[in-house]
Amino acid sequence: MRQRRLVAVLFPILALLTIVPAALASGSNSGPSGRYHTTIASPASIKGTWTIRFDNGRDSDYLNGKKVASGTYTQSGSIISFAQRNAPAGQTQCSTPGKYRFMLSGSTLTFTKISDPCNSVRSELLSHPFTNL
């Protein structure tokens, strides 16, 4: 009788210990999806309204409504790596992925550079906060 009572008490606790971490992990690993925008006043080289669209491992960058770059991204937890970018006209294509930590808080998406050795434009752009459209 005592063992049954112990099992009856422990089973729901063990179930919660299994379910809660899995639910938290799935929520914290969800990456950006959809469209985000920001308006940049300076530097002049990237001035304008930027939109980034994330869609199933592909991203596209728009400046004042015109597509200026695209590529792929991979995500692991809160780390996102941008690779195989099609560089805007006049820019050198970067074959080394840029790695950033991202945080989505409400409708605001921010990036913190971990490493991006050859893409200063991307690094400058992602230093600004974006808002979900």
Q: What are the extents of the domains in the chain?
A: 1-29, 31-132
Name the pLDDT band for 53 (thresholds 50, 70, 90).
Answer: very high
Assess contact for 86 and 69: CB atoms under 8 A: yes
CATH topology of domain 31-132: Lipocalin (2.40.128)
Structure tokens at 76: 């692991």
Please indicate whether residue 72 or residue 15 has the higher confidence score (pLDDT): 72
pLDDT in tens, 83-127: 865 555 566 666 788 999 999 999 999 999 999 887 778 889 999
Distances (CA, A) of 23 to 26, 32, 128: 5, 18, 30
